[in-house]
């Protein structure tokens, strides 16, 4: 089924083709007047100065027309949610109006599943990876039909595009990016019309040339973060989570690490006081904190401490007898286990590396499809190191288990 779906979306699996992005840019389309941006909150931004010139390119009248539209529409869309659509916030979440439903969890789940698809395509099974992509595309339809005026889209859209870029590079075919953007655009246009800001954003991006795509997405992501920062605060859980993703994939030199860690520390403490030490919201914030520190900080001891803490807080997963589900707790447990394993290598502790990954694999392989996908990923990481260490018998044992697990997908 997935072959026919992707063919209808303009993407042919296992075919290397010319890029759809090399199109003439329309410089005649006019933009709306610029919206005045609200002031930044009292909490200090973790990005006091955008030091790098390439973050703010000089946008020419033709070559960078779509980049200008992207930045403008992100601002229009994000501010409109709070100024005219009535969304509000507390310290941890964004609160919808009584007439709207927050689909943040569903969009976050789609991002997780795009990551799972990229893992399968890169490491184990192209066919299973594209089957996952097909199901994601189909599940986008009811989400778009229900309500696209969602802050969650500005949170999750950019990481999703980064996942898709990785898949495109893996299969050496960039058409999937344009298929995704145009499919999403057409869904939005069909349900809410072509004048909706999200349609304008997706339409602009769908004509960006491939060589400008990732720089344009980075500008859009930065603008989305800064807009939300001005609206809900620099120390808001969602803003900090967005920064933790941005610093890994886009620019880990763009933040003030001391302010970053201080904001996260205060937020974890506040979540513990309000929700409890092992509550889902607290685990979510601690995961973002660990993610940011592991990928953007040189303080390995802090990352180790946070990872141990996160494994301990999600340790109840080890005692559950029924099938576990992929979610905040399993995500935190899997990532913290991987961090402990990688830091063990830095500290010269091979046994701890193997123990951390083996424990996670054994737990995740009994879970749902997304859990099993992560178990496959971690198993390949473990097999690679064991092979380097000459432990071929153990490699073969894990490989047999992994291939059997792959069959269950």
CA separation for the pair 217, 225 (Å, rounded): 12
Q: Is residue 341 part of a domain?
A: no
Q: Is residue 223 part of a domain?
A: yes
Which residue range forms the structural domain that includes residue 145? 1-22+59-255
Q: What pLDDT, on a 0 to 100 scale, did the predictor assign at position 18?
A: 36
Output the six-digit token pair for 113. Answer: 């599943």
pLDDT tens digits, 191-232 = 999 999 999 999 999 999 898 999 999 999 999 999 999 999
On whether the CB atoms of residues 257 and 44 are closer than 8 A, the answer is no
Q: What pLDDT, on a 0 to 100 scale, did the predictor assign at position 199?
A: 96
pLDDT tens digits, 289-313 = 999 899 888 889 999 999 999 999 9
**Packing angle of the helix pair 369-388, 104-119 (nearest 10 deg):** 40
Output the six-digit token pair for 275. Answer: 């929700």
Q: Is residue 177 part of a domain?
A: yes
Band (23; pLDDT cuts 50, 70, 90): very low
Helix, strand or coil for residue 89?
strand
Q: Is residue 105 part of a domain?
A: yes
Spell 33-54 as b/e; 16+ CB within 10 A means b: eeeeeeeebebebbbeeeeeee
Q: Is residue 377 part of a domain?
A: no
Q: What is the pTM of this model?
A: 0.79
Neighbouring-strand partners of residue 89: 94
Q: Is residue 197 part of a domain?
A: yes
On whether the CB atoms of residues 267 and 237 are closer than 8 A, the answer is yes
Number of domains, the chain: 1
- For 127-192, give the secondary structure using H, E and C: HHHHHHHHHHHHHHHHHHHHCCCCHHHHHHHHHHHHHHHHHHHHHCCCHHHHHHHHHHHHHHHHHH
Name the helix (H) or strand (E) containing 94: strand 94-95
Helix, strand or coil for residue 362?
helix
CA separation for the pair 376, 378 (Å, rounded): 6
Q: What is the mean pLDDT of residues 106-132?
A: 88
Q: Is residue 364 part of a domain?
A: no
């Amino acid at each position: 089924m997935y072959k026919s779906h992707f063919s209808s979306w303009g993407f042919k699996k296992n075919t290397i083709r010319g890029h759809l992005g090399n199109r003439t840019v329309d410089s005649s389309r006019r933009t709306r007047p610029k919206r005045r941006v609200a002031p930044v909150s009292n909490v200090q931004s973790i990005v006091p100065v955008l030091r790098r010139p390439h973050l703010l390119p000089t946008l020419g009248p033709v070559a960078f027309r779509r980049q200008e539209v992207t930045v403008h529409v992100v601002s229009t869309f994000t501010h409109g949610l709070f100024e005219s659509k009535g969304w509000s916030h507390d310290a941890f979440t964004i609160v919808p109006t009584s007439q709207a439903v927050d689909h943040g969890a569903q969009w976050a789940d789609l991002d997780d599943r795009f990551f799972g698809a990229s893992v399968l395509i890169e490491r184990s099974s192209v066919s299973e990876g594209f089957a996952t992509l097909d199901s994601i595309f189909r599940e986008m339809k009811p989400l778009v039909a229900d309500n696209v005026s969602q802050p969650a889209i500005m949170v999750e859209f950019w990481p999703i595009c980064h996942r898709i870029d990785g898949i495109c590079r893996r299969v050496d075919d960039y058409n999937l990016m344009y298929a995704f953007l145009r499919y999403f655009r057409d869904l939005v246009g069909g349900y809410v019309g072509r004048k909706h800001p999200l349609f304008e954003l997706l339409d602009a991006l769908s004509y960006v040339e491939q060589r400008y795509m990732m720089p344009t997405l980075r500008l859009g992501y930065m603008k989305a973060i800064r807009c939300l920062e001005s609206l809900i605060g620099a120390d808001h859980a969602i803003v900090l989570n967005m920064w933790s993703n941005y610093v890994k994939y886009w620019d880990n030199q763009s933040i003030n690490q001391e302010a970053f860690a201080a904001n996260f520390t205060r937020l974890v403490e506040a979540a513990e006081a309000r929700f409890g030490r092992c509550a889902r919201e607290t685990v979510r914030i601690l995961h973002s904190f660990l993610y940011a520190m592991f990928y953007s900080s040189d303080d390995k001891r802090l990352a180790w401490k946070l990872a141990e803490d996160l494994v301990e807080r999600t340790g109840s997963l080890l005692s559950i007898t029924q099938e576990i589900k992929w979610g905040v707790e399993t995500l935190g447990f899997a990532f913290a286990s991987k961090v402990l394993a990688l830091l063990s290598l830095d500290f010269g502790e091979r046994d701890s590396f193997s123990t951390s990954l083996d424990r996670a694999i054994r737990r995740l392989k009994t879970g749902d499809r997304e859990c099993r996908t992560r178990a496959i990923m971690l198993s390949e990481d473990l097999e690679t190191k064991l092979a380097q260490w000459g432990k071929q018998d153990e490699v073969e044992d894990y490989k047999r288990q992994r291939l059997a697990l792959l069959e269950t997908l």
